[in-house]
Amino acid sequence: MADAMSYKLNLSDLERDGDVSITQQLVDRFAAAIDAGELERGSKLPPTRELAAEAGVNHLTAARVYRKLAELGYVTAQVGRGTFVRTLAPAGSASHGDDWQVYALPPDDTSYSEQVLADTFSLANREGVISLATGWPAPSTYPTQELARIAADVFEEIGGEALSYLPAEGLFDLREQIAARGRMYGYAEDADELVITSGAQQAIALSARATLEPGDVAVIESPTFIGMMTAMRGTGARVIGVPVDEHGMDVDALERLLARHEVKLVGLQSACQNPTGSSISDERRARLAELAVERNFFIIEDRVYADMHFDGKLVRPVRELAPAHVLYVNSLSKVVGGGLRTGWVAARGPVRDRIAMLKLEADFHSPTLIQHMAARWLATGAYDRHVAGTIPFYRERRDALLAALERHLPGEYHADPPEGGHHVWVTLTRPLDERALYAEAARGGVMFTPGGAVTAERRSQTSLRLSFSLLDPDQLDEGVRRLARAIREVRRRARHSVAAPMS
Amino acid sequence: MADAMSYKLNLSDLERDGDVSITQQLVDRFAAAIDAGELERGSKLPPTRELAAEAGVNHLTAARVYRKLAELGYVTAQVGRGTFVRTLAPAGSASHGDDWQVYALPPDDTSYSEQVLADTFSLANREGVISLATGWPAPSTYPTQELARIAADVFEEIGGEALSYLPAEGLFDLREQIAARGRMYGYAEDADELVITSGAQQAIALSARATLEPGDVAVIESPTFIGMMTAMRGTGARVIGVPVDEHGMDVDALERLLARHEVKLVGLQSACQNPTGSSISDERRARLAELAVERNFFIIEDRVYADMHFDGKLVRPVRELAPAHVLYVNSLSKVVGGGLRTGWVAARGPVRDRIAMLKLEADFHSPTLIQHMAARWLATGAYDRHVAGTIPFYRERRDALLAALERHLPGEYHADPPEGGHHVWVTLTRPLDERALYAEAARGGVMFTPGGAVTAERRSQTSLRLSFSLLDPDQLDEGVRRLARAIREVRRRARHSVAAPMS
């Protein structure tokens, strides 16, 4: 990493008698140097004492300069380590150029998951990269022709109404269509229970904000879906993980946690969990529902993969056993189109009203045209038939990924075949530095989701999430081949250096 | 208001030896009674001492019951007044039936603005109601035919890509189109500065979250746009108002505030402000930009009405004078369609990256199809011509509203004609209880925005915002006639009662 002192921060011409305070002048110079890229992201700033001596100011002034830079988001202070230029570089930010170096993950754990999530969105379609990090549905499975026709019908029939405002909770017709499915599958009884959101991600984020205050304790499965974790952390809550195994969330572990903490919210994917692909057992499901009622916590039950079980099994939702305590989340993203951003949450009573109010504050409502399209597509009755059609497609890709792992990493990993969904959770038999692997894999043209980014503890040296949904069998094979090569390279380097790997 | 003790909360059969704690049993009974509507929203619960005696539990247990109900969102505690069933009833919640009684505004100030905003969305198209509260663009002004054709073109040309995911900051083509306008009008230089959001509301909400922590001080114009205020309050910041007059935000008042508080964020609409219709003077604009740089605070500059100046005047943005400190917000809602939910924020440096990251956490990105449609519509070059075409339409409605006020309330109000936008800010010459007026007006078939809901102080007894955009001249006349009648009725009642008006 670059050393700030090697960057010539010109301090000779500070104006001691000018209108602008010395503090502000120093803040401006650092900020300008960071904006201009002269001071690299991730580089460490000199200790305040050094800056004070260099600039001829006292120690408190120097500390104030760094505090201001931190407030402005330019730097981040790490306890016991010093002050660093922020490495946060979200999807498509100007700094995401062609330089692979930017895929060095941030040293501060707080933005690790966020950075990995952002990379997923910015790298999915990047030329020359095989992204095993991207668990999006394949656009070829979407009912594009039908939606094009439906869009034309909507404009034809309702005209300018398709461009007008709606109430926050969304179009009644769409909520009715979803409630009709909800009555069949145990997740909603009435359109009034539903709030339409911009995808499951917004449903989760609003549900978390409706139920958590800063400092509250929330529990997630670990590993989990990154978006669930970042949404909960975004509320300022303390997020604790419980293990998830082939029978779903470890409810005994949750119960032990409940004895020590006042838990306000538990988040899980009860069917075809991301990333393990496992589903909750009937016994655990019943116990979890009991606990929610007894201990009075809310559950976010994310069901985005529930209809995509490869054996066609219907895993019943926790929601039907504790309807007042479960905020049931789903979307059309895996079936009709992720770019539609059409999701929903089913909830009852005051928490449903709070979610609707937060939706209003967040963005008023989700786009009107899209809601009409979704309602009409659901009204065609094509949902179940359409989903059934995609299952063999994704099952073939799952099998191709499992075969590629066996081919390129024999004896070096363990992976349970997922029951459904888009991901395989791979555990290496020997640990390695996952950040080093992330950078090395990117250099070699393959991306994956490092385990540490999807675990509550933010650390893993053995697990990776590999997604198969977007790649055909040949691409999956080539991706795993590149990944295996990167793993070998990182192991080789680790053997040649007992010092800490890449900083 | 109903008294809780008149509701027979059956406490005789509490199970003293059961599996469920007495606390939980009491919580369940209150919750069930509230859900069932047996215990009305807004009604006061008995003091804990009374509950304790009635239920045969100790005082601490009774307090715990109320605390749990508050956590679940069923009740709200008001210092010095007691515990009340929550009156929050967002847009379209089940309790919004045909009973006008629900339009009684909440007694707790904290949700006053939120409730008024929610009513706007749920009442705009209600049968028999003339909504002077709803400042939406008229759908007849939208380029509906063009958008229908463009939607078909998008599907034809890019197929399933129209349904696929995008990076958080949005479609590059759309950002390019907006940046091209931004370069002309001084609000953006480059597509990389832009983050596409779901309307200006989301741009404001994310900008506020990117710059404010709980306890921070933020400043808004008072009166202001409700959504600006609720978004800032939603961060947990302390929101202070400064006056706005015919020259825009009172920057001298802001400067006095800056001397007393460390202000992190200032929000304003610099042109055709909602609700006053005034624009910032050149002198104040320059001083505000200077202050932002000197004192290092961010500005949210909301420009949704800036292109709709009735005299065609271009009010230059603050952004061009302090580009690193201004988060410039705009949308297509007033021009192309509010239901498209297409807005943006232009920002530089780390704060732009933070906004993009918050967008990712909030809902991944705004819908793909809509972004393609917006980009293509802007690429037609129709924007300026289209806006110019709508100005005479809205100017006629403004004049009709001003004439109706003169006709039905002569000598009883003051209103400066707005320079642009959709609203008239009316100040009554004599105070009245605006909550009483809100309920009475609703009963008489007209809605308005009470001044207290759009002022930082949350209190006004003299001002109303009346919106003219959605109503034709006859409807505007009839709406003001009904409003004048409601004002007279509230005044008549106040004369006959020296006690406090409606509770």
| pLDDT tens for each residue of B394-431 | 999 999 999 999 999 999 999 999 999 999 999 999 98
Q: Is residue A92 part of a domain?
A: no
CA–CA min distance B157, chain A (Å): 11
**Residues of chain B contacting residue A231, judged by C-beta atoms under 8 Å apart:** 361
Structure tokens at A72: 């402005």
- Classify the phi-psi angles of A360: left when phi > 0, otherwise alpha if psi is within -120 to 50, otherwise beta: alpha
- Tell me whether residues A72 and B192 touch, CB distance under 8 A: no
**Residues of chain A contacting residue B264, judged by C-beta atoms under 8 Å apart:** 71
Residues in CB range of A374: below 8 A, 6 or more apart: A174, A177, A332, A336, A340, A342
Give the chain B residue nearest A159 (alpha carbons): B144
Bridge partner list, B329: B302, B345
A466 vs B41: which has the higher pLDDT: A466
CATH, residue B14: 1.10.10.10
Query: Which residues, numbered 127 to 166 in chain B, qualify as contacts with chain A under a Cβ-Cβ cut-off of 8 Å?
Result: 136, 139-140, 142, 144, 147-148, 151-152, 155-156, 159-166
Whether residue A302 is found in the same domain as residue A409: no
* Nearest residue, CB atoms, A164 vs list B24, B192, B338: B338
pLDDT category of residue A396 using cuts at 50, 70 and 90: very high
Query: What CA–CA distance (Å, rounded) separates A305 from A330?
Result: 9
B216 touches chain A (CB under 8 A): no
Structure tokens at B371: 């972004």
Whether residue B448 is found in the same domain as residue B317: no
Q: In the Cβ-directed half-sphere of A226, how many Cα atoms lie within 13 Å?
A: 29
Among residues A341, A360, A381, which one ends one of the domains?
A: A381
Q: Kindly state the average pLDDT of the residues A155-175.
A: 94
Q: What pLDDT was estimated at residue A61? A: 83
- Tell me whether residues B341 and A364 touch, CB distance under 8 A: yes
Whether residue B311 is found in the same domain as residue B190: yes
Backbone angles phi, psi at A265, to 5 degrees: -150, 140
Query: Which residues, numbered 172 to 211 in chain A, qualify as contacts with chain B under a Cβ-Cβ cut-off of 8 Å?
Result: 192, 197-199, 201-202, 205
Query: What CA–CA distance (Å, rounded) separates B472 from B397?
Result: 7
CA–CA min distance A343, chain B (Å): 10
* Nearest residue, CB atoms, B161 vs list A139, A168, A205: A139
Instruction: Determine the residue among A86, A116, A141, A163 to mutate to test chain B binding: the one whose Cβ has the most chain B Cβ atoms within 10 Å.
Output: A163
A411 touches chain B (CB under 8 A): no
Whether residue B40 is found in the same domain as residue B130: no
- Tell me whether residues A166 and B121 touch, CB distance under 8 A: yes
The ipTM value here is 0.79
Whether residue B415 is found in the same domain as residue B470: yes
Range list of β-strands (E), A394-491? 413-414, 423-428, 446-447, 449-450, 463-467
Among A100-114, A446-460, B486-500, where is mean pLDDT lowest?
A100-114
Q: What angle do CA A376, A201, A101 make, to 5 degrees?
A: 125
Sign of CA pseudo-dihedral A91, A97, A100, A102: negative
Q: Is the pLDDT confidence value at A96 over 60? A: no
Q: Where is A117: in which H helix or E strand?
A: helix A112-123
Q: Is the pLDDT confidence value at B7 over 80? A: no
Whether residue A59 is found in the same domain as residue A119: no
**Residues of chain A contacting residue B364, judged by C-beta atoms under 8 Å apart:** 121, 198-199, 201, 227, 338, 341
Q: Is the pLDDT confidence value at A260 over 50? A: yes
Whether residue B289 is found in the same domain as residue B232: yes
Report the interhelical angle of B22-35 vs A349-363 (nearest 10°).
60
- Tell me whether residues B35 and A349 touch, CB distance under 8 A: yes
Q: Is the pLDDT confidence value at B125 over 80? A: no
pLDDT category of residue A113 using cuts at 50, 70 and 90: confident
Instruction: Determine the residue among B40, B360, B377 to mutate to test chain A binding: the one whose Cβ has the most chain A Cβ atoms within 10 Å.
Output: B360
Give the chain B residue nearest A97 (alpha carbons): B192
Number of other CB atoms surrounding residue B393 within 10 Å: 13
Q: What pLDDT was estimated at residue B72? A: 66
Residues in CB range of B130: below 8 A, 6 or more apart: B445, B446, B447, B471, B475, B478, B479, B482
pLDDT category of residue B188 using cuts at 50, 70 and 90: very high
CA–CA min distance B424, chain A (Å): 21
Q: Is the pLDDT confidence value at A97 over 60? A: no
H helices within B171-315, ranges in order? 172-185, 199-211, 226-233, 251-260, 282-295
SS3 B242: strand
Q: Is residue A94 part of a domain?
A: no
Range list of β-strands (E), B4-150? 75-78, 82-85, 130-131
| CA B87 to chain CA mean position, Å | 18
Whether residue B344 is found in the same domain as residue B452: no
Among residues B321, B352, B381, which one ends one of the domains?
A: B381
Q: Which domain holds residue A53?
A: 4-85
CA–CA min distance B254, chain A (Å): 20
Q: Is the pLDDT confidence value at B73 over 70? A: no
- Tell me whether residues B155 and A147 touch, CB distance under 8 A: yes
Residues in CB range of B369: below 8 A, 6 or more apart: A151, A339, A340, A369, A370, B151, B154, B162, B163
Q: Is the pLDDT confidence value at B6 over 80? A: no
**Residues of chain A contacting residue B151, judged by C-beta atoms under 8 Å apart:** 151-152, 155, 369
Q: Is residue B503 part of a domain?
A: no
Q: Kindly state the average pLDDT of the residues A407-435.
A: 95
CA–CA min distance A76, chain B (Å): 12
Among residues B339, B354, B381, which one ends one of the domains?
A: B381
* Cβ burial, residue B379 (10 Å; 0-12/13-18/19+): middle
Q: In the Cβ-directed half-sphere of A381, how many Cα atoms lie within 13 Å?
A: 0
DSSP string, A299-355: EEEE-TTGGGBTT------GGGG-TTTEEEEEESTTTT-GGG--EEEE--HHHHHHH
Q: Is residue A187 part of a domain?
A: yes
Nearest residue to B398 via CA among B378, B419, B382: B419
| pLDDT tens for each residue of A351-393 | 999 999 999 999 999 999 999 999 999 999 999 999 999 999 9
Query: Which residues, numbered 435 to 454 in chain B, qualify as contacts with chain A under a Cβ-Cβ cut-off of 8 Å?
Result: none
A279 touches chain B (CB under 8 A): no
Query: What CA–CA distance (Å, rounded) separates A272 from A315?
Result: 9
- Tell me whether residues B24 and A296 touch, CB distance under 8 A: yes
The structure's pTM equals: 0.80
Q: Is residue B500 part of a domain?
A: no
B338 touches chain A (CB under 8 A): yes
CATH, residue B427: 3.90.1150.10
Whether residue A33 is found in the same domain as residue A10: yes
Query: What CA–CA distance (Å, rounded) separates B217 from A215?
Result: 21
Residues in CB range of A475: below 8 A, 6 or more apart: A130
For chain A, what is the mean pLDDT?
87
Query: Which residues, numbered 295 to 334 in chain A, qualify as contacts with chain B under a Cβ-Cβ cut-off of 8 Å?
Result: 296, 324
Say if CB B336 and CB B374 are below 8 A apart.
Answer: yes
* Nearest residue, CB atoms, B364 vs list A24, A161, A199: A199
B69 vs A291: which has the higher pLDDT: A291
Whether residue B257 is found in the same domain as residue B111: no
Give the chain A residue nearest B293 (alpha carbons): A24
Give the chain B residue nearest A234 (alpha carbons): B361
**Residues of chain B contacting residue A291, judged by C-beta atoms under 8 Å apart:** none
Whether residue A13 is found in the same domain as residue A27: yes
**Residues of chain A contacting residue B354, judged by C-beta atoms under 8 Å apart:** 73, 88
CA–CA min distance A310, chain B (Å): 23
Q: What pLDDT was estimated at residue A94? A: 34
Query: What CA–CA distance (Å, rounded) separates B273 from B268?
Result: 8
Chain A / chain B CB contacts < 8 angstroms = 309
CA–CA min distance A335, chain B (Å): 11
pLDDT category of residue B501 using cuts at 50, 70 and 90: very low
pLDDT category of residue B117 using cuts at 50, 70 and 90: confident
A58 touches chain B (CB under 8 A): no
Q: Is residue A206 part of a domain?
A: yes
Number of domains in chain B: 3
SS3 A256: helix
**Residues of chain B contacting residue A191, judged by C-beta atoms under 8 Å apart:** none
pLDDT category of residue A78 using cuts at 50, 70 and 90: low
A429 touches chain B (CB under 8 A): no
Q: What pLDDT was estimated at residue A102? A: 38
* Nearest residue, CB atoms, B91 vs list A152, A167, A348: A167
Q: Is residue A353 part of a domain?
A: yes
Q: Is the pLDDT confidence value at B126 over 90? A: no
Query: What CA–CA distance (Å, rounded) separates A138 from B76?
Result: 47
Q: Kindly state the average pLDDT of the residues A150-163.
A: 96
| pLDDT tens for each residue of B255-298 | 999 999 999 999 999 999 999 999 999 999 999 999 999 999 99
B73 vs A291: which has the higher pLDDT: A291
B227 vs A117: which has the higher pLDDT: B227
- Tell me whether residues B121 and A364 touch, CB distance under 8 A: yes
CATH, residue B310: 3.40.640.10
pLDDT category of residue A3 using cuts at 50, 70 and 90: very low
Whether residue A258 is found in the same domain as residue A325: yes
Query: Which residues, numbered 250 to 269 in chain B, qualify as contacts with chain A under a Cβ-Cβ cut-off of 8 Å?
Result: 264
Say if CB A461 and CB A174 are below 8 A apart.
Answer: no
Q: Is residue B93 part of a domain?
A: no
Query: What CA–CA distance (Å, rounded) separates A190 from A199?
Result: 20
| pLDDT tens for each residue of A169-211 | 999 999 999 999 999 998 998 999 999 999 999 999 999 999 9
| pLDDT tens for each residue of B301-358 | 999 999 999 998 999 999 999 999 999 999 999 999 999 999 999 999 889 999 999 9
Nearest residue to A138 via CA among A493, A469, A503: A469
Among A186-200, A217-231, B487-501, where is mean pLDDT lowest?
B487-501
